Structure 1
Amino acid sequence: MEGIEDDGPLSQGELPHIEDVQLSAEERVYVERSGPVENVYANKEAVYKLTEGLLSHYLPGLQNSKRTLQELTQNQLILLDALDQEVTKFRECNTLLDLNSLFTEAKIYHNKLVNIRKEMILLHERTTKLKKRALKLQQHKQKEALEREHQRDKELERERQLIAKPAKRT
């Protein structure tokens, strides 16, 4: 038989173009079936055509599958970005809720401060009034003490005048 003995797989560089190969009736693939495959005779052109046929049959589907997988991967990335944005929005909403509670708390504390300030102003007014009253009472007591002192001085003077004085001899 006229065939080409093939020792291993053919690389694409070894495959001839279809136009360059001419088929003869004797060039066929023979496989000894009684035991393990020992000698395989293959026509390179037949192997090439079978490979081309196999590739032409499955390659478009595989390429479509590859494009579909790429589109799915791209869509998945888009969905992941959208999901990340939604998560960010939820975090911002939680932050806004936290801010709202902080503003509410700040308002409560502001009201407490305003009330404390009013109480401090009221206490300041009361202490000022008490200080004025205490000053008036002190002045009044000093005045009474001074009047008593004058009264006593007058009484002492009167008693001195009432005391008999020896007459002067002339």
Structure 2
Amino acid sequence: MEGMEDEGPSSQGEPPHIEDVQLSAEELMYVESSAPLENMCEYKEAVHKLTEGLLSHYLPGLQNSKRTLQELTQNQLILLDTLDQEVTKFRDCNTLLDLNSLFTEAKVYHNKLVSIRKEMILIHERTTKLKKRALKLQQHKQKEALEREHQREKELERERQLIAKPAKRT
């Protein structure tokens, strides 16, 4: 295992890759059991440096990704609010269209009411004229009936006068 230290990427001046750092469980047990205490400190220091290197390599990108995701989330919230406002505007437009149709319908019904009112006024005038005419006709018929009755009484009186009366003896 000591030969592995010399062949690693850190001896060549390149940053260590995560694949190079990973050891199998058997290799770790071998290293722990056979390595002296000095090598353990070196391993801990190497693990610490590799961890720092790994964090310094990936952490800025992850933090940048986190900021980008936060911005995206904030932009999504803004878009959702804007979309909600647009939906509200469309609902208001539909309400206005409904109001316009109601006003149009009300105008149509108003016109119908006006025409019905005119018809009722005309019908009232006609019935008033017909009532007057009927009253005149009734009065005329009563007058004619009265005249006929009067004429018949005259004729009856005339017939009575024409009937021979026995002369009175004196």
Corresponding residue for residue 142 of structure 2: 142
Corresponding residue for residue 19 of structure 2: none
Which has the bigger relative contact order, CA under 8 A and spacing at least 6?
1
| 3-state SS of 1:144 partner | helix
Question: How many residues are treated as equivalent by the alignment?
Answer: 141
The TM-score with structure 2 as length reference comes to: 0.73
| 3-state SS of 1:39 partner | helix
Unaligned runs of 5+ in 1: 4-27
Corresponding residue for residue 6 of structure 1: none
Is 2:27 the counterpart of 1:39?
yes
Q: Distance in 2 between matches of 1:120 and 1:76?
A: 65
Corresponding residue for residue 89 of structure 2: 89
Shift of 1:29: 8.2
Q: Distance in 1 between matches of 2:63 and 2:6?
A: 30
Distance 1:29 1:119, change over 3 A: farther
Corresponding residue for residue 70 of structure 2: 70
Cα root mean square deviation, aligned: 2.5
Percent identical among aligned pairs is 87
The TM-score with structure 1 as length reference comes to: 0.73
Shift of 1:145: 0.9
Would you tell me which structure has more strand in proportion to its own residues?
A: 1
Shift of 1:143: 1.0
Unaligned runs of 5+ in 2: 9-22, 32-39
